[in-house]
Amino acid sequence: TTGKKSIVLSSETRRELAKQAKVTKEERRAQIDERHKYLISRLADGIGLSEQQVETAIISDDKFPLIEQFFAPNGLKKLLFFYQDVLQQKSNASLRADGTTNSLLQKKLFITMGSAEYFTGTCAFFLRTSDKVITTSNVAQEVNFGIFDCTNGNILQGMEFFLSQIMIPALKSQQHWGAVKEGLKNSQIQDFLYSVDKFVGTLSSSRQNIEDKIQLRKVDIDIYVSNLQNPSDYITAG
């Protein structure tokens, strides 16, 4: 006999797992310093949650160690958070005969590498500007924050808005371009900005083409062809 195995945990085992999870959360809460608080503050402002809600989500996340990897010297270059609807088990759900439980969609903030989960909501991201260790004194200078809004999974629209309304205006107002002394007057900088503008135009065109696509409606033709008997019936059906 083949079939899906379901593991039913005893109430004692569930209590022990909950106890371990609580201990882990408290240990992580004790690790939070000004660096974490900086991330929490940015996330709360950008997503619209309270700092307490963000902190609770972070210390409850299995990927919490990624934050330390982001802070480390030569560490992760990016730290991503998704805030979107996720299928979650009801806290008081009873186990069904097939081993499944009642679940529902709820908004959830979670850490991600960006490669395993479908992106359907809001992405909040932190980017490092160097390989330095991120400390409590340099976190505001070394870490950039941004929001990428793709509510309802509309990624093209989210990217178009992010580039056209945020990134391009920021680039065009940039006064210092490192070793390029002429700044915006430099031909390579102008070519770069032209390419970004052109890319945004392509995004806009692609989005409009998708939104304006023709959707064929399925029609029940049985009522037109079931009683065909003479040529006039065919004309009527046509």
Per the model's pLDDT, the better-predicted residue between 105 and 195 turns out to be 195
List, in sequence order, every residue forming a beta bridge with 81; answer none if it has no partner.
111, 124
Indicate whether 216 and 175 sit together in one domain: yes
DSSP 61: -
pLDDT above 90 as % of the chain: 50
Indicate whether 121 and 181 sit together in one domain: no
How many distinct structural domains can be found in the chain? Answer: 2
140 occurs within a structural domain: yes
Indicate whether 184 and 148 sit together in one domain: no
5 occurs within a structural domain: no
Task: Give the domain range for residue 17.
Answer: 11-89+102-152
For the residues 197-201, what does the mean pLDDT come to?
93
In what order do the strands lie in the sheet containing 143-149?
103-112, 78-89, 122-128, 143-149
Report the residue count for the chain: 238
pLDDT tens profile 18-70: 898 899 999 999 999 999 999 999 999 999 999 999 999 999 999 999 999 99
- Indicate the angle between helix axes 11-31 and 51-59, nearest 10 degrees: 120
171 occurs within a structural domain: yes
DSSP 127: E
pLDDT tens profile 94-116: 545 555 555 688 899 999 998 88
Indicate whether 112 and 180 sit together in one domain: no
Final residue belonging to a domain, choices 136, 152, 168: 152
123 occurs within a structural domain: yes
Indicate whether 32 and 78 sit together in one domain: yes
Q: How confident is the model at residue 49, as a pLDDT?
A: 94
Final residue belonging to a domain, choices 135, 152, 169: 152
pLDDT reading at 196 higher than 90: yes
Please state the pTM of the whole predicted model.
0.71
For the residues 124-139, what does the mean pLDDT come to?
94
pLDDT tens profile 152-162: 768 888 889 98
Q: How confident is the model at residue 1, as a pLDDT?
A: 42
- The Cβ-side half-sphere exposure at 42, using a 13 Å CA radius, reads 20
231 occurs within a structural domain: no
Indicate whether 32 and 134 sit together in one domain: yes
Q: Find the angle CA(123)-CA(102)-CA(53) to the nearest 5 degrees.
A: 35
Indicate whether 65 and 170 sit together in one domain: no
Q: What does the alpha-carbon distance between residue 59 and residue 212 come to, in Å, rounded to a whole number?
A: 44
Indicate whether 55 and 129 sit together in one domain: yes
Indicate whether 76 and 161 sit together in one domain: no
Arithmetic mean of pLDDT over the chain? 86
Indicate whether 75 and 20 sit together in one domain: yes
